[in-house]
A and B are shown apart, each in its own frame.
Chain A
Amino acid sequence: MTHQLLAVRGLSAGYGPLRVLHDIDFTISEGERLAIVGLNGHGKTTLFRAIMQLVGWQRGSVTFDGVEIGGTRSLGEGRYTPGIVRLGIAMTPQGDAIFPGLTVREHLDCGAHARSAWRERARRRERVYQLFPQLETLQDALVGKLSGGERRMVSIGRALMSDARLYLIDEPTLGLAPKVSRRVIEALVNIPIEGKAMVIAEQNVAVLTGAVDRMIGMHAGRLRGEVGHVGLE
């Protein structure tokens, strides 16, 4: 059996008296690509934000690589998030142009801002440019001026710059043309994942066909079992 990377047990989360997630249970192991599919407003983003401790409060437990990172508490806005990122979880948020005033290169460097990663950021940038060749030509453009697909690539590339072992990718194809979203998903498949894992939240099941190992449905804040097993090729 492969090493279990993330284990979510009985996770409930919400904002104020509003409860958005109900008793979420799932695990993901090294080398796995998992998709969480569900319609808008059913809690996919909140699940990711709960793992990153960005929601209002949560109950239950989240264990990353044997370390308890969740727990029963009311959360400040992003107070514990940097610590979780340092443990090795990288999330690309929805709608992604997170630093519109930075250039592509600076944006990528932000991903490698940790002291250990900073020294080899040039080498890591090369790796990202291999995956997304068009970013190399756009190095000095402001992220706010890029197209939706390019921003998505910058955002994913930013996650790849870090030492993360778990990528949480929120809605990679949201608002993109079908052709562009296929390219983004292809890039996600091409990311080497040995010893790492990836969770993708997505509405569009069709684009994920063949791209992930497992799919879990999400409905009204609850996980609704495995949607179907889709092997890689």
Chain B
Amino acid sequence: MEVKPTQRLFNVGQRPDELTLKPRGDKPWHRLRPPFTRRHWLAWRGVYNPKSLRRERRLLDKRPLWWGLGLGGLLVVTPFMSEQMINIAAIFCIFSAINVIWTLIVGAAGIFSLATMAVVGICGYAAAAANVYLGVPWPLMMPVGAVVGLVFGLFLALPSTRLDGLYYALLTLGIAEICRVSITQIKALAPNNSSINNVDSFIPAAWHLQRPGLLVGFAAAFLLLLAALLVFRLVNSERLGLLLQSAREDEAFSEAIGIDYRAARWWVFVLASCALGAIGAFYAMFYRSISLAVFSLDQLLLLFAMIVIGGLGRSEGAVLGTAVVVLIDKGLIGLGPLRIIIVTAVMIVVALFARDGLTGIKAQFRGFRNRKKSERRAARTEKGGEVMPEEATEIADKQLVYRRLFDKRLRDSLKALITPELIAEHRAKPLGQHTDALDRLLNYFRREEMPDKYGILRVGPLTSCSYRVIALSGRAGHPPRVVDDKLYPTLNEAFHAVFLLRVNDLLAS
């Protein structure tokens, strides 16, 4: 007996195995919100699945899951790791916090500032000096840093709206250098080697560089990172962020509709400087000292490598890039100068192949796949009323694409049926039984869409009337329009006139 080959069924569509919720139609949808806001925790969206013809709920934005997984994993795993790794995790958290705030300045506000580490350093020195020389207790160091950051940010922000791009970057680089030299020259501030030591800290002195101390340091750094992410979220996704986004899309237009994007940029810059100041104070507390290494160009370039590897302008990019670079830089410390070469190699590879860093790869790959798809589709596309390949990748419901393809083939086959004999047949008898070819043609015409469908209008009194052809608008409340000024004495002649118009339209399509 012949065995029938088993049929293989393929899952069709972009994400056949994506997890979706099946809602109950008879129950209202209760959603949880963070307190005091109108937002939702997760972006569930109710959508209609054109394939299964069912309602379903789909998670539109899966990034919160990745954030939870990554940060939660770090929090759970770190206490069980070696002391060196705990230190690396803490350093990762601090640098991530700096980079997230820096991303706010560069990505959201669009101010290309390189004074990040200068702000961190100045505020770190100020907070450390306040603690060591003025006896300010350590819980107040971060507010002190924030206030100094605010003042410094106000000063730095002055030229930021006047200069653009590289010019401002250069200016901030200059200011960073001026800061570094000034610190070396103020002997009273830092007598030995320009560094301030013995800073008080949230880590008890006895625990310094011991395992419990490292764990406390990591926990505090983790909280710092969470706070930085919260600041990013509050600034970037709320009112200020929206104003800035409009300015990024089109400066002139947003100005024309009354958005003062310069003020918004200025605000973001000052706020971010304030946050960087607090981080600077934390930095001094974490190491219990602060030295000129904060200002070094190498440190700045390493930070820059972090945000460009991850992708400029996104918080997840800043954190991911920091993770990659910190792991290479601190994790492979045995390799010596070779590890900087590895970092630069990663930078080059990412910049060569990824348009927007590591976090932009997904969007870039989608674009690439759509282009390839449309190219393949173009190779097998015939000329005429079909969907263009570029359009096709943008249409979510693929049935529309195939509907148009079907329609085009149907029209091609119907066009072949139109002969003078067929038209003569319709003229002789517009209504009643027809040949197969004419029937097919008329059936196709009856199925046409409402806009521009033809109708017949009676003119004059019923006893001595004539007819004229009109076209329907297809929109409620919009009257039909008159097609031409011809008057037809009988209804059959009007029917035939409509038929001829239709045939013309079909042949022209």
A and B associate in one complex: yes
Segment of A12-20, A86-94, A113-121, A148-156 engaged in the interface with chain B: A12-20
Chain A residue at minimal CB-CB distance from B390: A17
Chain A residue at minimal CB-CB distance from B393: A17
**A10 contacts B by Cβ under 8 Å:** yes
Q: Contacts A59-B378, A73-B375, A74-B375; is A23 near B391 (CB within 8 Å)?
A: no
**A57 contacts B by Cβ under 8 Å:** yes
Chain B residue at minimal CB-CB distance from A15: B390
**B145 contacts A by Cβ under 8 Å:** no
**B389 contacts A by Cβ under 8 Å:** yes
Which chain B residues lie closer than 8 Å to A73 at the CB level? 375
Establish whether residues B379 and A74, one from each chain, have CB atoms under 8 Å apart when the complex forms. Answer: no
Which chain B residues lie closer than 8 Å to A57 at the CB level? 390
Q: Contacts A59-B378, A72-B375, A73-B375; is A19 near B388 (CB within 8 Å)?
A: yes
Chain B, interface SS category? helix
Chain A, interface SS category? strand
Which range holds the interface residue count of chain A? 10 to 19
Chain B residue at minimal CB-CB distance from A22: B388
Chain A residue at minimal CB-CB distance from B387: A19
Cα of A69 to Cα of B389 in the assembled complex, Å:
21
Which chain A residues lie closer than 8 Å to B384 at the CB level? 23
A24-55 at interface with B (beta carbon < 8 Å): none
Cα of A149 to Cα of B447 in the assembled complex, Å:
56
Which chain A residues lie closer than 8 Å to B383 at the CB level? 10, 23
Cα of A202 to Cα of B393 in the assembled complex, Å:
35
B261-316 at interface with A (beta carbon < 8 Å): none
Which chain B residues lie closer than 8 Å to A72 at the CB level? 375, 378-379
Cα of A57 to Cα of B150 in the assembled complex, Å:
50
B372-420 at interface with A (beta carbon < 8 Å): 375, 378-379, 381, 383-384, 388-391, 393-394
Establish whether residues A16 and B378, one from each chain, have CB atoms under 8 Å apart when the complex forms. Answer: no
Which chain A residues lie closer than 8 Å to B371 at the CB level? 74
Establish whether residues A16 and B390, one from each chain, have CB atoms under 8 Å apart when the complex forms. Answer: yes
Chain A residue at minimal CB-CB distance from B372: A74
Cα of A12 to Cα of B379 in the assembled complex, Å:
13
The contact sample of 21 A-B pairs, CB cut-off 8 A, is A10-B383, A12-B388, A14-B388, A14-B390, A16-B390, A17-B390, A17-B391, A17-B393, A17-B394, A18-B390, A19-B390, A19-B391, A23-B383, A23-B384, A57-B390, A59-B378, A59-B381, A59-B388, A72-B379, A73-B375, A74-B375
List residues of A whose CB falls within 8 A of some B CB. Answer: 10, 12, 14, 16-19, 23, 57, 59, 72-74
